Each structure stands twice: as C-alpha cells, then as structure tokens.
Amino acid sequence: MLAYISRRVLLMIPTLFGIMLVSFVIIQFAPGGPVERVIAQVTGQGSDATSRISGGSGSDISQQIQNQRNVSNDPIASKYRGAQGLDPEFIKQLEKQFGFDKPAPERFAMMLWNYIRFDFGRSYFRDIDVIDLIKEKLPVSISLGLWMTLISYMISVPLGISKAVGDGSRFDVWTSTVIVVGYAIPGFLFAIMLVVLFAGGTFLDLFPLRGLTSDNWDQLSLWGKIVDYAWHMTLPLIALGISAFATTTLLTKNSFLDEIRKQYVQTARMKGLTENQVLYRHVFRNAMLLLIAGFPGAFIGAFFSGALLIETIFSLDGLGLLGFESIVNRDYAVVFATLYIFSLLGLVVTLISDLTYMWVDPRIDFEAREV
C-alpha cells in the first residue's frame, strides 16, 4: 500500500509540471496581456486595471502618459498594441511590474519555485495576495459544491435503489423520463427559469438573488441564520443539481441491478432472508462501492462544474466567477495560482478516491496494481 501511494505521489510531480507547462506556453501565444490591458486603460481604450501599478492609481498613470505623448517610438513600445508614442521607460516599468522583463523560461522556473513553496504572489490588478483572494471566494464555492453533492446523494441513492427494485415498472419508466429530461436541460437555462418564476423576474418574488446571506445576517439568531442561509442557497442548488441527479441515480440503479442478478443474492433468498435483508445487508455494500469511492471526485466535480454561469446569474462571488474575471482581465497571477491549486487538489482527490475503494472493499490489492 505504501509503495502504491508513493508511486502515485511521485507521478503527481510530472503531471502537475505538464499541466503548468502547457498552460504557460498557451498563455505566451494568447493575444493581449496585462501590459496591453494597462496601456488600453490609461489611453482610454479599456476598463480599470491599474490600481496596483507603481503604487499609484489609474488616473495618476493616465496623467503621466499624457505628459509623454510626444516621445518618439521605440522597439520596446512598438511590440505592444497601442503603445506607439509612449515613453519606452514607462513600458519597461510595466514589464518589470508584471515580470515580463525576464525571458519566458526564467519566468516559468521562478513561478514553479514559488508555487512549490506555496508563494502565489499578489494579484496584478487587485491590492491583495492571491491566496487571500482565493480564501475570500472559497466559502461560496464550498457551499455550492458540498451541499449539491450531499443533497444529490441523499435523493439519488434511495431513488436509484427504488428504480432497481422495480426495474421496468411504471415508476421506473416515468422517473427515468423525468431524470433524462432534467439532465438534458442546461443548468444555466434552468437557473434563468427559476429566476423568472421565483425570484422577482415575472411571477413570484420568493427568493433573493445576491450573496449567501442577507445584509442583517449579524443581527439574526442562530435559527434565523440557518433559515436565511438556506433561503439564499435554494435556487442555486436546484439549478446546479438538476443534472447531477441523473448521473448518481442511474449509476445507483445499474450498480444494484448488477448485484441483484448475482448468485450470492439467490443463495441468500434461498436461506429464507427477507427481501430487505437481502437488499440492505448483502447487496447494499457491494452496490455502493462505486458511489462511495466516487464521492470525493463527485464533490470536486460539483465544486467547479457549471459554477461560473450559476454564480453569475445568482450574483454569487465565488471561484468560478473569479477565474473567469481573471482570464478576461489577464490577471495571470490569479489564473496560474488557481490552476496550480486545483490541479494539485484534483490529483490528491483522485488518489483518495482510489484508496476509498480499498476501504470499502478490502479485496482490492493495490500492491499488485500497476500505476
């Protein structure tokens, strides 16, 4: 077991390196960048992105550039769109601020060295450390991912068992129809429908549309806080979970059907055990192997899948929205830090999922397994 875990941990290193290398190379060829974004802002062609540059405000830099308009062109300035006529020293200052004054291989090596020590630096355009920014957005994503996974399992497992026991029945047919239709509906489209129907869109105004809690959260009692939190989470969880129910329910049903048809189940019935004893004492443990072992992976999947659009529609400031805004704003410090953290988290969770198989079914031998 220790040998297997060691091999898997060692394999994480080249895997993580490859993910970061490919992403870094792609970014080098992507149009635009933080330097171009600042230039566009200070020349009146873009949105605010200069709050941290040189410790001054965007208006300060704008004034500085206006005073330097008549400077002759320079190769350093001409390689950035919209930089012609600007002071080359100012362009060099921007490059140094963002680390682009060094060759790409050196920047990549420095980034990896810092990330190994979990030093993620500061956001380009927000006056905050990247790790603090991620911590600030984390509660929203954890709330969505954790509750969606738990609720999905709590509903889908009993439903899947019922469908397996009544395979081919009218209940099985119509529930399958509802599940498939729900799975086919995009989460963001369902979210918009929920807003129109229940959040003051056109019909009812029953649920809020912003944040995880109300403005008077601090003044509420413990029970009031629980109710308020659930009130805010209801619509986002329904929108996120509409497609998650299908996968878990059908996986549960197929796992139980596969076990019910095995010989040991017939033997248990012949011994005089009741159907519930056979189902929950013998079948349940074997059938739930895939679902229990897949729980960590399901949580990580729920953590990110569809989060961007759902967070946008319901005004939830989480990691999905943070990642999207960082890409749009060319905030590479945040982009690469989140990519590194979540890639590492995904690799660790995959290992935990594999080890969970052994915990559920001790017959699995990892020592004899090739990685």
pLDDT of the chain, 371 residues: tens digit per residue: 777 788 888 988 999 999 999 988 888 777 777 777 777 766 665 554 444 444 443 444 444 444 444 444 455 545 666 556 566 777 777 777 777 778 888 889 999 999 998 888 888 888 788 999 888 888 888 888 888 888 888 888 889 888 888 888 899 899 988 888 888 888 788 888 888 888 876 677 888 877 788 888 888 888 988 888 888 888 888 888 777 778 788 888 888 888 888 888 888 888 888 878 888 777 887 777 767 766 766 666 666 655 677 888 887 888 878 888 888 888 888 889 988 988 888 888 888 877 777 776 666 666 555 54
Q: Which residues contact 194 (CB under 8 A, 6 or more apart)?
A: 207, 235, 238, 239
Q: Are residues 157 and 74 in the same domain?
A: no
pTM over the 0.75 mark = no
In a domain, 240, yes or no: yes
59 and 207 share one domain: no
| 364 within some domain | no
pLDDT recorded at residue 302 = 62
d(CA 362, CA 184): 37
Asked if residue 207 is part of any domain, the answer here is yes
CA distances from 60 to 52, 67, 83 (A): 11, 11, 17
Q: What is the pLDDT of residue 56?
A: 43
Q: Write down the pLDDT at residue 68.
A: 46
Q: Is residue 341 part of a domain?
A: no
Residues contacting 333, CB < 8 A, separation 6+: 120, 121, 122, 123, 124, 130
CB 20 within 8 A of CB 104: no
Q: How far apart are CA 5 and CA 39, in angstroms?
A: 49
Question: Which of 74, 106, 125 is where one domain is finished?
Answer: 125
Residues 38 and 182 in one domain: no
Chain centre distance of CA 288: 26
Between CA 90 and CA 310 the distance in angstroms is 40
Q: Are residues 250 and 136 in the same domain?
A: yes
Query: Which domain range does residue 144 map to?
Result: 131-328
Looking at the structure, tell me whether residues 113 and 148 fall in a common domain: no
Question: Rounded distance, CA 94 to CA 101, Å?
Answer: 9
> Is residue 342 one of the residues assigned to a domain?
no
Dihedral sign, Cα of residue 280, residue 146, residue 252, residue 310: positive
Whether residues 115 and 156 share a domain: the answer is no
> Cα dihedral sign for 28, 32, 33, 39?
positive
Reduced to 3 states (helix: H, G, I; strand: E, B; else coil), residue 122 is: strand
Q: Does residue 236 contact residue 191 with C-beta atoms inside 8 Å? A: yes
Given this model, what pLDDT does residue 238 score? 85
- Neighbouring residues of 45: CB distance < 8 A, sequence distance ≥ 6: 39, 82
User: 243: which 2 tokens?
Assistant: 């497609």
pLDDT value for 269: 82
Domain stops at, among 92, 125, 158: 125
Q: Is 197 found in the same domain as 95? A: no
- Alpha helices in the chain, H assignment, sequence order: 2-29, 34-42, 58-66, 75-78, 88-98, 104-116, 130-165, 170-184, 187-198, 222-260, 263-270, 275-277, 284-287, 289-293, 295-304, 307-313, 319-328, 332-360
Phi and psi torsions of 161, nearest 5°: -65, -45
| Amino acid letter, 368 | A
Residue 196 maps to a domain: yes
Domain boundary among 106, 125, 144: 125
What's residue 22's pLDDT? Answer: 92
Please give the Cα distance from 302 to 345 (Å, whole number): 14
CA 128 – CA 122 distance, rounded (Å) = 6
Does residue 108 share a domain with residue 202?
A: no
Q: Which pLDDT score is estimated for 43?
A: 64
Structure tokens at 63: 């004034």
User: Is residue 338 one of the residues assigned to a domain?
Assistant: no
Indicate the number of domains in the chain: 2
Locate tokens 């999207």: which residue?
324
Same domain, yes or no: 103 and 138: no
CATH number at 153 reads: 1.10.3720.10
Same domain, 294 and 245: yes
Q: Is the same domain home to 265 and 184?
A: yes
Assigned domain for 339 exists: no
Quick check: helix, strand or coil at residue 27?
Answer: helix
- The answer to whether residues 290 and 165 belong to one domain is yes
User: For residue 90, how many other CB atoms are within 10 A of its CB?
Assistant: 21
Q: How far is CA 184 from the centre of its chain?
A: 21
Cβ neighbour number for residue 220 with a 10 Å cutoff: 15
